[in-house]
Structure 1
């Protein structure tokens, strides 16, 4: 009875909080995306909204990519203003000075149409530096008139990278773009509902008309185009293949030409259309979600008690599952916001309720299985844990020598940060951070060894080795750094800036197994591989890199996204180590160029090392590359650089 009640309680919580539960959350998102796509309103071209864009042809015409040409914007705005649209929204951040700024500011002074300029909060947009934000503030101050005002354009995606919902609006910022252009609407005041994306009725007609901006700046074509924007809402922004694009619930379910990937300007257009349609889906009350969770768990438990022939039981069970599958689609079609509806959670809660009653007295009588279920699930990926459950002998209960890929991480400056904030906040931040890193390690098939303060220690190759351990370990190392960057972006307001996550990866020998005695054991790894990985992680600080991978690990990863970072002698290790850093966003020729510079330096030829200066300028603030340049300048023939 006790186990039954416990499982029923778990079933209720799963059915209620599936949207907040890892893995289950992904299923909920997939089902919601299916519902949102199937029942997305189909429309002919939305004739109240027009998009005017800088595209690749515009960039070729102006010869300027970033920032975009402002002369053509000034000329286009003058023409657009003369057509008397309802409002103009400009989704372009003016963060850098240009020679034609005065021309654009002069145009703003003459604008008669309500015009809203993109503004960004630096806390919500960390890619904007202090100098850029300062210029943005100054530019807005100069541009502001009775008709030209700032507007918030921030779009916050879900953790899986999909734009499903309106972005909650921070206090103190200008009004959100769609609301600024149309005026306040009580239904949208919280900015927290689902976006109702529109889809075209036919493939021939788009949802929104879109014109290149140069057409409105060209005297030969502007008069013809102005008729398309009169008395309409005009959105101006970029349409580039590599910037400001968002995945949405709209996939290829409706037609083969749509992949659900939209430019940011088009996301704003959908939100503006939703606001004009006064179409904010009705929220499901919280008490209803709790009531439904309780009902499905009880129904699952009662279903396990049904007696009768198989056909009768089958009909009842299929009928309940059919309800869980169809009912959320019915609600979506009725205009109910199912973004927080636990459709998958209901089915899973039902199953847990069914299992709780049907298996209340069942116990685990295998010691090895009990050990695996209680321990492995917390430290091993699902696939490895499943294999061990099927064959417990694969988990060695003693030490054995193995070749492994060891990964160490460290959060820069976190110890110092703990002295500046409250202990409760330290615990919250640390748990969130380690959760993120643990998810990454397990996602790529790693074994979590331990947590040491803010550091995560993990390895690949034990207790079960796979042929692609090297690739998964290397990808995980870089993904751990990215997870740390994502964590930095989402710290609560008032917390001082948090440093980068540094990662070290090495391949070598280790002794792996359970250590600590019969009473308190831990599955861990000891030896050279672990020590070297830890020192590589620490070397990031001196080399000003983010992820350092030894040649031994690099050669076994099967990846070609590395640049060499020279030869170093680690503290406490006599043999030099050749280290590499993953740079997946680099061109192949640039990675090869760095390799050629190092190869030439090893032969005593230092004439080419200044070529690195060009790359430093090309890739911006690349501290690791600048550090490599300094080290090569201080050495003569590729000798190892000793770290203190």
Structure 2
């Protein structure tokens, strides 16, 4: 046994020595990062979204099913109420006055009004007359612009303050109706009690009636949402306010008023609706994905009345869990066993990470803030750190090439790099390359008009199409910038026909964009054309992100020129613009000259050409003749040739644009783009 322990210790020391100080430091930093991620996943982008999604599944899986709550009733304005009263915003206050009179007569326990009286109305005198005579405790909704700017402006706040000051009596007081949501717009937490705000509506009601629970005074934990036992037996009885305001109908529902808390608010499909943990999949019983604000307040009130304060998970327990997750990642990376055994161990660990929070939730603990994906990601980072540290440098370099090249390089070039990894420079080298930029017209505006899910679907489809074109024509994918594609030819390996491939790719990308436009789903607004710029020049290419990050890219003025050529398409009414440098090296006869332009941010003019393989020889020749006449200073010839455009290419906007630009400039002068 001592010999075995000694061998292990000796093996560890030998391994650390082989790693070297630099790799040891990197591994230590990554392990610290793994622990940080495992502890703080709820506070981080993407990880926080995943944590919230898993929490919602936990919360809804163990949400208690309940029959209608006999302590709380919702009184709601509906679309039918608005049609009857002829008022939508603000809602009719006369009907509220009548309902409050009936409520007071029936002996309700307390009333909370989730409606902001933030603008004077003609019915206010009638409402105030009823309010001043109330014996039942009434709490009026209050919000201020500082803590809830989406609900109330500063001017409305002043009107609200004046109304409440007029309405206040010993039994009529303000209460905060603030509800806070997470970054994804879901109401999960009890809101904070800000200085200057009156007590939260649920706290105010119970403080007045003697049902208060002191432990909820500063509570910031989860809201306990419940599910109904059936569709026809909701968690809270819901009464239309116009029914309660009717003296003939109100007595029929006296049992839902007497001795109960009544919360009054709106039940409209497009206003005061909140996402809850049920929203991702819909309520399992009702199918609803959103909840009206007054029902969220009712859920908090019922939680308070039930004294349903969940136990909190102590910080030390979360720390131990994070350490265990990271430790398991390290142990798994160090393990030397059969692949199938290792795979089963990994599956078991991941399952444990995801299932354990459900066990904690089922035990009655509040798992808001409890990591699940954080443990998985921490495990992955720890596993990666140790695995990477144990690899030899040559193996790491080969892994770098294998992981990167298949995504960014054509198959033939990738195969060559795999056979000779030294062909791929990792530190930058100066090369003459063909640089290409593309952009989709109007896509930014489209993101404001289409749902995010559809935007993601459209963008992925579009980029897949254009990426395929680049790779089919032997190009290297540099990067995506939103809907823009950046690519180049001539690195890491150059071919004699790079120029021809690049021009054909530029034209094919435009055509692929046109095909994409024709096949967008129904209901999506029209999508603009794909514009492409191509230039040949000197750039520095290589991996600029370091050996630990795959980022093979090109930098330099040639890349900037290509980007500006792409931008120049719009003012020139073209779709693909190629510089003279790139055109002359293409070996193709597709081009017609588009004149000389001074690109934005450039001092030297650039001669630009448009590849138009489908245009007639006569149309191509006409463009050349117009440019030649302008260069010779023959304005009369320019005008005469311009008149022929309608005969040869009447619908050719780019050719007309060229003629217009040349008519406005002097002999050989370039057109300056803003």
The counterpart of 2:318, out of the listed 289, 309, 312, is 289
Query: Structure 1 CA distance, aligned partners of 2:412 and 2:382?
Result: 29
- Map of 2:301 onto structure 1: 272
Matched, 1:169 2:167: no
Aligned equivalent of 2:639? none
| Aligned 8 A contact 1:53 1:213 in 2 | yes
Residues 591-626 of structure 1: per-residue CA shift (max 9 Å, x gap): xxxxxxxxxxxxxxxxxxxxxxxxxxxxxxxxxxxx
Aligned twin of 2:272: 244
Tell me how far 1:59 sits from its aligned partner. 1.0
1:22 to 21, 31, 45: 45
Task: Indicate the residue corresponding to 1:83 in structure 2.
Answer: 106
Shift, 1:248, TM fit: 0.8
Shift of 1:155: 1.3
**Residue 418 (structure 1) aligns with:** none
Q: What is the aligned partner in structure 2 of residue 330 from structure 1? A: 359
Change (3 A) 1:469 1:10: farther
Question: Secondary structure in 1 aligned to 2:263?
Answer: strand
Q: Secondary structure at the match of 1:360?
A: helix
Q: Which residue of 2 aligns with 1:424?
A: none
Flag the 1:357–1:152 CA change in 2: closer, same or farther, 3 A. Answer: same
Q: Normalising to structure 2: TM-score of the pair?
A: 0.61
Cα deviation, residue 166, structure 1: 1.3
The answer to whether structure 1 residue 317 and structure 2 residue 346 are counterparts is yes
TM-score, length of structure 1 as denominator length: 0.63
Q: How far apart, CA to CA, are the structure 1 residues paired with 2:25 and 2:227? A: 51
CA distance in 1, matches of 2:217, 2:91: 33
Aligned to 1:149: 173
1:123 matched to 2:158 = no
Q: Is the 8 A contact 2:114 2:177 kept in 1?
A: yes
3-state SS of paired residue (1:463): strand
**Residues of 2 paired with 1:467 and 1:189: CA distance?**
59
Answer yes or no: is the 8 Å Cα contact 1:74–1:104 preserved in 2: yes
CA distance in 2, matches of 1:468, 1:81: 68
Structure-2 separation of matches of 1:15 and 1:511: 46
CA offsets 1:132-154 (integer angstroms, 9 cap, x no match):
22211111111111111111111
2:92 corresponds to 1:69: yes
Of 240, 244, 247 in structure 2, the residue corresponding to residue 216 of structure 1 is: 244
User: Computing the radius of gyration over CA atoms, which structure comes out larger, 1 or 2?
Assistant: 2
Residue 440 of structure 2 aligns to a residue whose secondary structure is strand
Give the Cα–Cα distance (whole angstroms) in 2 for the partners of residues 70 and 283 of structure 1: 43
Task: Label 1:95 to 1:74 Cα distance change in 2 as closer, same or farther (>3 A).
Answer: same
Q: Is the 8 A contact 2:514 2:529 kept in 1?
A: no
Counterparts of residues 519-538 of structure 1 (less than 5 Å):
521=555, 526-527=563-564, 530=567
Alpha-carbon deviation of 1:281? 1.8
- Do 2:283 and 2:289's aligned partners in 1 also have CA atoms closer than 8 Å? no
Which residue in 1 is equivalent to 2:292?
Answer: 263
CA distance in 2, matches of 1:29, 1:514: 49
The alpha-carbon distance between structure 1 residues 460 and 527, as it changes in their structure 2 partners (threshold 3 A), is same
Looking at structure 2, the residues matched to 130 and 301 of structure 1 have their Cα atoms a distance apart, in angstroms, of: 55
Answer whether contact 1:408 1:458 (CA < 8 A) is retained: no
Q: 1:154 to 1:529 in 2, by over 3 A?
A: farther
* Distance 1:386-1:60 versus aligned 2 partners, 3 A rule: farther
Aligned pairs for 1:97-116 (under 5 A) are 97-116=120-139
Per-residue CA deviations over 1:501-560 (Å, capped at 9, x if unaligned) read xxxx99745458998756983776632665899x9xxxxxxxxxxxxxx9999xxxxxxx
Deviation of 1:188 after TM superposition, in Å, equals: 2.5
Provide closer, same or farther for how the CA distance between residues 34 and 462 of structure 1 changes in structure 2, counting only shifts above 3 A. same
Equivalenced residues, count: 463
**Alignment partner for residue 340 of structure 1, among 348, 360, 369?**
369
- Separation of aligned partners in 1, 2:536 and 2:284: 53
Give CA-to-partner distance per residue, 1:222-246, whole Å, 9 cap, x none: 1122221111111000000111111
Say if 2:202 is the partner of 1:158. no
> Which of 229, 245, 253 matches 1:201?
229
Deviations 1:436-478 (A, max 9, x none): xxxx99996799xxxxxxxxx965231277759999xx9xxxx
The structural deviation recorded for 1:17 is 1.3
Q: How many angstroms apart in 2 are the aligned matches of 1:270 and 1:204?
A: 18
User: Structure 1 residues 143, 189: CA separation in 2 closer, same or farther (over 3 Å shift)?
Assistant: same
On the 8 A contact 1:89/1:235 being kept in 2, the answer is: yes
Matching of residue 299 in structure 1 with residue 319 in structure 2:
no
Change (3 A) 1:253 1:77: closer
Partner Cα separation in structure 1 for residue 530 and residue 351 of structure 2: 50
Deviations along 1:547-593, whole A, 9 cap, x unmatched? xxx9999xxxxxxxxxxxxxxxxxx99xxxxxxxxxxxxxxxxxxxx
**In the aligned structure 2, how far is the partner of 1:517 from the partner of 1:172?**
59
In 2: Cα distance, 1:20 partner to 1:389 partner: 37
- In structure 2, relative to structure 1, the CA distance for the partners of 1:234 and 1:513 (3 Å cut) is farther
Q: SS of 1:210's equivalent?
A: strand
Name the CA shift for 1:517/1:110 in 2 (closer, same or farther; >3 Å): same
- Give, in whole Å, the separation in 1 of the partners of 2:515 and 2:217: 49
Q: Is the 8 A contact 1:165 1:194 kept in 2?
A: yes
Distance 1:72 1:198 in 2: 31
Change (3 A) 1:398 1:146: farther
Q: Indicate conservation of the 8 Å contact 1:406/1:458, yes or no.
A: no
In 1, Cα distance between equivalents of 2:162 and 2:403: 61
1:190 corresponds to 2:218: yes
Structure 1 unaligned spans of 5+: 374-384, 410-439, 448-456, 475-504, 536-549, 554-571, 574-643
Structure 1: distance between partners of 2:169 and 2:292: 29
- Residue 122 of structure 1 and its aligned partner are, at CA, apart by 0.4
Bigger shift: residues 399-408 or 203-212: 399-408
Q: State the Cα RMSD in Å.
A: 4.2
Residue 255 of structure 1: how far off its partner (Å): 2.6
Residues 323, 518 of structure 1: alpha-carbon distance in 2 compared, 3 angstrom cutoff = closer
Whether the 8 Å CA contact 2:226–2:235 is kept in 1: the answer is yes
**Hey, what's the Cα distance between the residues in 2 that align with 1:390 and 1:91?**
62
How far the C-alpha of 1:161 sits from its partner, in A, is: 1.6
1:405 aligns with 2:440: yes
2:231–2:285 Cα contact (<8 Å) kept: no
How many angstroms apart in 1 are the aligned matches of 2:73 and 2:537?
65
The structure-2 alpha-carbon separation of the partners of 1:161 and 1:58, relative to structure 1 and needing over 3 Å to count, comes to same
Mapped to 2, the partners of 1:112 and 1:514 lie a distance apart of 85
Give the SS at the match of 1:50.
strand
Q: Is residue 58–residue 214 contact of structure 1 (8 Å, CA) maintained in 2? A: yes
Is the CA contact (8 Å cut-off) linking 1:235 and 1:269 kept in structure 2? yes
